[in-house]
Amino acid sequence: MQDRNRKLEKIGIMGGTFDPIHNGHLVIAENAREQYALDQVLFIPTGHSPLKHKQQITSGSHRCAMVSMAIADNPQFVLDEIEVNSPEISYTFHTINKLKKNYISCELFFILGADSLFDFESWRNPDLILESCSILAAYRKHQRQEEFFRHIAYLNEKHPGKFHPLDTPNLEVSSQEIRQRVRHGQTIRYLVPKTVETYIQENKLYID
């Protein structure tokens, strides 16, 4: 486990269910690291999500194991089980507040997708999130691009300098699609790291 009090200038935060983690997640995280000179990117699997209480989610142990395998070859990517190990509902503002206390004197950047950017103001206590971190919003060229930048500008008018665009390759892959492909006996090769593909097969995940 890394020393969370070790001073790092910039910490990226990549939250998500990661059920399973896939190459799209890794591409976004690596682009954020490169474009904003992040020292580390934390991958934080969701514990008890307020948005997915009706959806059956794979156990935290399986999801954390897959994240650990997926990021093993990148020393700047770190698994953080702060939500999985907590009995509380995983509200982003609460997690960010805990991280701010753990990563003293560090600048935090929360990484999210374009869809989440448009929903951000409906999140629980968005102002508290912005008190502790800036937002890196990933977008793909030609995908609601004009609307995306208008919304970035709108949010920055209300919260100056808090929202930043993150340019990412157009990699169309989702965890839901991967689960469906496994369920239907279709290949997921090149959609997830090989170690994750093997783990899913060996543990017979997503077949029911």
Q: pLDDT of 63-120, one tens digit each?
A: 999 999 999 999 999 999 999 999 888 899 999 999 999 998 899 999 999 989 999 9
CA 38/CA 29 separation, integer angstroms: 10
Please report, for residues 34, 117, 132, 160, 198, the alpha-carbon distance to residue 154 in angstroms, rounded to integers and kept in the order given.
26, 11, 20, 10, 44
Q: What is the pTM of this model?
A: 0.92
Instruction: Give the residue ranges of the chain where pLDDT is below 70.
Output: 1-8, 51-55, 142-143
| Residue 32, phi-psi category: left (phi > 0), alpha (psi -120 to 50), beta (remainder) | alpha
Query: For 169, phi and psi rounded to 5 degrees?
Result: -60, 155
Helix 194-202 vs helix 60-70: crossing angle, to nearest 10? 150
Is residue 20 reached through a cis peptide bond, with omega within 30 degrees of 0 on the bond before it? Answer: yes
